[in-house]
Amino acid sequence: MSLSSVSNVRRPFAVAAMALLGLVLAGCGVNNVPTLEERAKASWSEVQNQYQRRADLIPNLVETVKGYAAQEREVLTAVVEARAKASQVKVDASTITDPARFKEYQEAQNQLSGALGRLLVTVERYPDLKSNQNFLALQSQLEGTENRVTVARRDYIQAVQAFNTEIRTFPGVIWARLFWGAKPMETFTATAGAERPPAVKF
């Protein structure tokens, strides 16, 4: 038998062996790590998207309140400054594996939430403002956005939990170290005082 004949006989076996190896690796979960990582990154993008939506509503809200309650300068300034600070914190996909940057982002968003809460409590003193159609529309949009933020954060937390579990348990821990170099991702923690419901009335 010639050398080329032997080579032709071995080729189908090599192809079959490669296909079998691919199936074994896929069956062992080698692709779970990048799949879960991409899911967590997509969830993180949605969190950022909803926080941006909230930030975009704030200037109109502040202007509407200012028209009725210009004397509440300190509260209005606090909201504007908190929004500016939250917008200055630069984040990207690497933020979710960097505890310091993630904490900075979360704290900036929490400060903005607190400033908004104080502004909305202040509105109680202005019945005309509370009945203003622009304010009511903005209030409704803001409430809807806060709900979306909550859902986006919940989805992100679940996606990160799945990813972090995968890279810390067998066999995911092997694939994470051998192929992907995956690092655990950060997740949101409850804001101090979150166990108490906010005293906001409309």
Tens digit of pLDDT per residue, the chain (202 long)? 554 554 555 677 666 666 565 555 555 678 899 999 999 999 999 999 999 999 999 999 999 999 999 899 999 999 999 999 999 999 988 999 999 999 999 999 999 999 999 999 999 899 999 899 999 999 999 999 999 999 999 999 999 999 999 999 998 998 888 888 899 999 998 766 544 544 444 3
Over residues 18-39, the pLDDT tens digits come to 656 555 555 567 889 999 999 9
pLDDT at 30: 83
Distance separating alpha carbons of residues 186 and 96, to the nearest angstrom: 5
User: Of 162, 144, 146, nearest to 42 (Cα)?
Assistant: 162
Residue whose pair of structure tokens reads 């930030």 in the numeric block: 55
3-state secondary structure of 122: helix
pLDDT at 107: 96
Q: Quick one: pLDDT at residue 3?
A: 46
* pLDDT value, residue 28: 65
Preceding omega of 197 cis (within 30 degrees of 0): no
- Tell me what pLDDT residue 168 has: 94
Best CA proximity match to 105, nearest among 117, 94, 90: 90
| Angle 34-147-67 from CA coordinates, rounded to 5° | 130
Q: Domains of the chain, with CATH numbers?
A: 33-180 (1.20.1440.20)
The beta-carbon contacts of 185-189 under 8 Å, at least 24 apart in sequence, are: 185/40, 185/96, 185/97, 185/160, 186/95, 186/96, 186/97, 186/98, 186/99, 186/102, 186/103, 186/160, 187/156, 187/157, 187/160, 187/161, 188/106, 188/153, 188/156, 188/157, 189/106
